[in-house]
């Protein structure tokens, strides 16, 4: 039991370190390669709403699939008639 607690704590600590390092590394790369740009251009992700970006990604994916497969998602998914018991 105590060993599991130690392992979990070590895993959490390593995940936090990676998250901290990845944000530092991103900032360092931005400074190195985009130092000549204004501050608002260098960090546009600060103002972007992640929900709106995700929605646009979904829309792009849907448009790509509809182009590749005409009629894709034109009609809603059929509702199940009865719960699936898994025995049929």
Could you tell me how far CA 42 lies from the centroid of its own chain?
Answer: 21
Instruction: Return the CA Rg of the chain.
Output: 23
CA–CA gap between residue 54 and residue 28 (Å, rounded): 26
CA–CA gap between residue 12 and residue 56 (Å, rounded): 32
Average pLDDT for the chain: 76
Could you tell me how far CA 40 lies from the centroid of its own chain?
Answer: 23
| pLDDT tens-place string over residues 17-50 | 877 777 777 777 778 888 787 777 766 555 455 5
User: Which pLDDT band holds residue 88 (cuts at 50, 70, 90)?
Assistant: low
Q: Where are the domains of the chain?
A: 1-36, 47-72
What's the whole-number mean pLDDT along residues 1-28?
Answer: 83
On the question of pLDDT at 72 being above 80, the answer is: no
What share of the chain in percent tops pLDDT 90? Answer: 0
């Amino acid at each position: 039991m105590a060993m599991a607690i130690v392992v979990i704590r070590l895993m959490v600590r390593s995940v936090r370190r990676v998250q901290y390092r990845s944000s530092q590394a991103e900032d360092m790369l931005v400074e190195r390669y985009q130092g000549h740009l204004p501050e608002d251009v260098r960090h546009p992700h600060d103002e972007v709403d992640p929900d709106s970006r995700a929605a646009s990604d979904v829309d792009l994916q849907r448009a790509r699939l509809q182009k590749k497969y005409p009629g894709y998602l034109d009609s809603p998914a059929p509702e199940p008639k009865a719960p699936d018991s898994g025995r049929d």
